[in-house]
A and B are shown apart, each in its own frame.
Chain A
Amino acid sequence: MSVKILALGFGLVILFSVLELIRKEKLTFKYALGWLVIGIVAIFSSIFETVIFKTASFLGFKLPSNFIFFSLLSVFILFSLLLTVFLCQQNNRNDLMAQKIGILELEIEKLKRKINKE
């Protein structure tokens, strides 16, 4: 029983942390969505643990805990792959911005020189 309370508590902590972060505008909805789903799934499965047991035995896991570990790992691996994609996107945008800033500075310098000549 205490495990159930622990799991439920953890799920609630995740859900409320995410909600609080959205409220304070530290998380945008695009990135918060995955975490909201994780929080809700955690709460749902701590209340209805029989769903986990049934799914685990249906999929052929000998122990429900193996099923839980497997699901968690899969979700986090996918999550980190997604995060890497976002990171690369940000990196490309940063580099583009650096290049544009460099080019713009040169253009400003050229204009300044032109004005000084006139």
Chain B
Amino acid sequence: MAQKILIIVPAYNEESNIGKTIDDIMASGQTATILVVNDCSKDQTAQKVLEKSVMLISLPYNLGIGGAVQTGFRYADDNHYDVAVQIDGDYQHDAAYLKDLLRPLCDDKVDMTIGSRFLPPFSSYQSSFLRRFGITFFARLISFLIKEHITDPTSGYRAFNKKLIKIFAKYYPHDFPEPEAILIAKRYKARIKEIPVQMRERLGGQSSIRYLKTFYYMVKVTLAIVLDKLKERKEL
């Protein structure tokens, strides 16, 4: 049976990237519904999306990337989608890897796949020292806490099956959600697999994680991850 797939594209002030991102997904040949969640952008993001034949949800005020992605999960849950994919609207995620990300989910081998920049054959991702340090720190911390090897916990290139869509529709962290979401999924005993992908360098727009925010990011995410261990474990 064909799976109903929803591609959630969160976008905040991405007028220069969102069009390319959508074209890239469409060119990948993957049959899926594309839903852009515009997180109350101040620029022309919504107008750029309306030029394309994709669905658009515009939030009335800015909720942060987690709130935007969660809107996608809620939509997917309401409309009974089997699989939800997150592709960020900044054109960093290459849609060519969509099929790799989806295959283990469609075969029901895992509940969640994460596109990792640090798995062979692609492990040459270039990034600032600070960011590399942050990613390694969270990779070690999360791998230790869930007793499973995770290489790219901050990657937002992910796919989820129906069970996790239901869970994340109800609760999803609002700021810097990616590392914490792994812990939440694990708490529900989800099977997670990392898939090697390549990502592009950021072109226009602004990353949601800037220098001044980095410290807050590190503290918040570390605390959130550790505190998540205190929460009750549940079955999927």
Contacts and interface: CB of A to CB of B under 8 A. Distances in A.
B74 A99 contact: yes
Q: Which of A99, A100, A101, A106 has the most CB of B within 10 A?
A: A99
A69 B67 CA distance: 42
Count class of interface residues, chain B: 10 to 19
Interface stretch (B50-58, B205-213, B225-233): B50-58
Interface in A98-118: 98-103, 105-106, 110
A41 to B, nearest CB: 35
B59 interface: yes
B75 A95 contact: no
B71 A103 contact: yes
Interface of B: 37, 55-61, 63, 67, 70-71, 74-75, 78, 174
B230 to A, nearest CB: 17
Contacts of B57: 102-103, 105-106
Interface in A37-71: none
Q: Majority SS of interface residues in chain A?
A: helix
Nearest to B62: A98
Nearest to B66: A95
A105 B67 contact: no
A28 to B, nearest CB: 25
Interface residues of A, number: 10
Complex A-B, nearest 7 residue pairs according to Cβ-Cβ distance, in ascending order: A102-B57, A99-B71, A102-B59, A106-B57, A98-B60, A98-B59, A103-B75
Q: Majority SS of interface residues in chain B?
A: mixed
Contacts of A105: 57-58
A100 B57 CA distance: 10
Contacts of A106: 55-57, 75
Contacts of B74: 99-100, 103
Interface in A71-118: 95, 98-103, 105-106, 110
B70 A99 contact: yes
19 contacts: A95-B63, A95-B67, A95-B174, A98-B59, A98-B61, A98-B67, A99-B59, A99-B67, A100-B74, A101-B59, A101-B60, A103-B74, A103-B78, A105-B58, A106-B55, A106-B56, A106-B57, A106-B75, A110-B55
B95 to A, nearest CB: 22
Q: Which of B56, B57, B174 has the most CB of A within 10 A?
A: B57
B56 to A, nearest CB: 7
Given A95-B63, A98-B59, A102-B60, 16 more contacts: A95-B67, A95-B174, A98-B67, A99-B71, A100-B74, A102-B57, A102-B58, A102-B59, A102-B71, A103-B71, A103-B74, A105-B57, A105-B58, A106-B55, A106-B56, A110-B55
B45 to A, nearest CB: 14
Contacts of A110: 55
Contacts of B60: 98, 101-102
Contacts of A99: 59, 63, 67, 70-71, 74
Contacts of B37: 102
Nearest to A96: B74
